Amino acid sequence: MNTKTLPIGVDSFEKLIDGDYYYIDKTGLIAELVESRYEVTLFTRPRRFGKSLNMSMLKSFFNIDQNKEKQKALFKDLKISQYQDICNAYMGQYPVVSITLKDVTGNNISEAKTQIKAVIGKEALRYKFVLDDRAVTDEDKALYRALIEISDGEFVMDDSVLRNSLMNLTHIIEKYYDQKVILLIDEYDVPLDKAHNGGYYDEMASLVRDILSAALKSNDSIKFSVLTGCLRIAKESIFTGLNNLRVQSISDVGFSEWFGFSESEVSEILDYYGIRDKNDIIREWYDGYKFGNMSVYCPWDVINYIQTLRTDKNALPELYWANTSSNDLLLNLISGADDQTKHDIESLLSGDSISKYIHTELTYREINESIDNIWSVLYMTGYLTQVVRMENGQYELKIPNREIYLLLKNNIYDFVKRENKEKSDDAYHLFDALIEGNDKEAERIFSDYLINHISIRDINVKKEMKENFYHGYLLGLLSAVTRAVVSNRESGDGFADILIKAPEKRVGVIIELKYAENEKLDQFCDEALRQIENRDYEQALYDAGMDTIISYGIACYKKRCRIKKK
């Protein structure tokens, strides 16, 4: 039997089934959606959790233009086939208008409008045959032609046509088929995110609000509509007057099993590919999200890591999800951190949870208005997950898994490096103190630095990894002011943690750093100095022409440090 291919980057349901890719069955979403009888449903989930594939699945199931035999073949062995009444009443019975706004990334409102016109215009072109139907009035045909008119390779619908485009398209399609339309809008909030970053949010919010209001509010041509996105944008901003909207967020119990992978689904896929022994590491790195009452894995991470393991059984996990888009939210949180926020971040990195009020409805302009709003967005977009939801609107939040922990840690390091380059006075003073043998001044500077920055104290790793945090901060400080710094921590080649050469003074510095796990800072400083002496770390600096060698033993615990010299 041939092993199925993993569907990395495949968000077309039909392509996935026809191509015999490995598919974790989410067709039960169809039955729950039909039985819920919501007129307009918005699913908010983090990126890469299967939203687009599910939307493609809905289109394939309901689409009246799908070849009926092929349609049956697509779904015959899947969960939805167990719901015969729903299959008989809904499969292939409705015209579907399906668009995705994920590629609307214009640098200004004009570019973004052009991209939205192309998305809607191309979908309208699928129904060009309505022009040949005598039952469609000349007036409706004129409205339709306005949607598909092209000049110089671009759709040219004016603003009034664009704002009413989905409403008019669904009206015309209903008349042609004499059947109500199912409207699917994937990633509805991407244009708003891009507009916020591009400085034209108000114009885009007005446009999206007008398009959605016209299409979804009191539109008798719609059977029902489904939208997806990462965030629920405040009603007064986008969904004005849309009283028939039902939001299913990551906090809600309903529909929670249809996005992301469950524990049993991950076990099943690991068994299929013969790598069940990787279950624990995959759980540590990619599980931990909570949708409603369900524990959920990130699908993108799981299938990418399994694909890597198929060629290299010893491959280490990677930050697959983290590397699929910008992580500006984390940098905004870190750069704007006050003392309370620093404490919260340190608690999260230590494996603890924090309590925060979560604002489920925000406009993009409100995100950066306060740290509280950033916490809310971090929760809704998958950087944090809920431990428990309290009655007063507060959530107990934590980092879901190892991947997000490392992502946050890496962003802290990146911020520190950038800040060191911009504010290098402390780094120069520290460098001078070390070269001059002033251990007390060096201790004062590095201690102040630790107090004023976010610390990373991973309680779940070995002592050597804890030392790496302090080593990284110290190395980052010194590297900001001199290139004469050599680090050997990462290579593990038996040399000191940090070597510094000051050729103009013919002075060399050796630094060995320890994590004082029992808080006995002096004891660990002495141990570091003995290691320098016993392993003859000085020789490398003598060989480099240095006449004076200064050795430092540094011990750190939380935000405290001690420095001793020899």
Taking the mean position of all CA atoms in its chain, how far away is CA 287?
14
Indicate the pTM of the whole model. 0.87
Whether pLDDT at 75 is above 50: yes
What DSSP character marks residue 6?
Answer: P
Query: 259, 271, 247, 181: which is closest to 38 by C-alpha?
Result: 247
User: Tell me, what DSSP letter sits at residue 490?
Assistant: T
Judge contact between 421 and 414, C-beta under 8 A: no
- For the chain, the first-to-last Cα distance in angstroms comes to 68
**3-class DSSP assignment, residue 385:** strand
| pLDDT tens digits, one per residue of 103-141 | 999 999 999 999 999 999 999 999 999 999 888 899 999
Q: How many CB atoms lie within 10 A of CB 39?
A: 15
Distance of CA 475 to the CA centre of its chain: 29
- How many other CB atoms sit within 10 Å of the CB of residue 67? 11
Cα–Cα dist 21/12, whole Å: 11
279 has pLDDT over 90: yes
Which helix H or strand E contains 378, and what residues bound it? helix 371-380
Give the C-alpha separation, 514 to 524, whole Å.
Answer: 6
- List the structure tokens of 522: 């002096």
Q: Which residue has the tokens 């299409």?
A: 215
Report whether pLDDT(351) > 70. yes
Q: Rounded to whole angstroms, how far apart are CA atoms 436 and 507?
A: 9
Look at residues 373, 375, 349, 350 and name the one whose alpha carbon lies nearest to residue 362: 373
CA distance linking residue 107 with residue 90, whole number of Å? 41
Place of tokens 């002592």: 463
User: 486, 546 in Cβ contact below 8 A?
Assistant: no
Least confident of 6-10, 67-71, 238-242, 552-556: 238-242
The encoded tokens of residue 3 equal 């092993």
Average pLDDT (58-70) is: 95
| pLDDT digits 0-9 by tens, 470-513 | 887 888 788 877 777 888 744 445 678 899 988 889 999 999 99
| CA R_g for the chain | 29
CA dihedral 171, 174, 180, 184 (to 10 degrees): -60
Supply 374's token pair: 């950033």
Query: What is the phi/psi pair of residue 483, to 5°?
Result: -95, -5
Find the mean pLDDT for residues 69-81: 95
Average pLDDT over residues 209-227: 95
- How confident is the model at residue 82, as a pLDDT? 96
Secondary structure element (H or E) that encloses residue 233, with its range: none
Give the domains, in start order, of the chain with CATH numbers: 13-109+167-250 (3.40.50), 260-322 (no CATH), 325-404 (no CATH), 423-565 (no CATH)
Among 1, 17, 28, 144, which Cα is nearest to 71's? 17
Residues of the chain above pLDDT 90, percent: 69
Q: Indicate whether 469 pLDDT > 80.
A: no
Q: What pLDDT shows up at residue 492?
A: 41
Identity at 251, one-letter amino acid code? S
Kind plus residue range of the DSSP H or E element containing 154: strand 154-155
Q: What is the structure's pLDDT at 490? A: 43
- Of the pLDDT bands very low, low, confident and very high (cuts 50, 70, 90), residue 95 is very high
Distance CA 566, CA 556 (A): 18
Measured from the Cβ of residue 535, the count of other Cβ atoms closer than 10 Å reads 13
Q: In the predicted model, what is the mean pLDDT of residues 380-390?
A: 93
Which of 9-13, 239-243, 342-346 has the lowest average pLDDT?
Answer: 239-243
- The mean predicted confidence, pLDDT, of the chain is 91
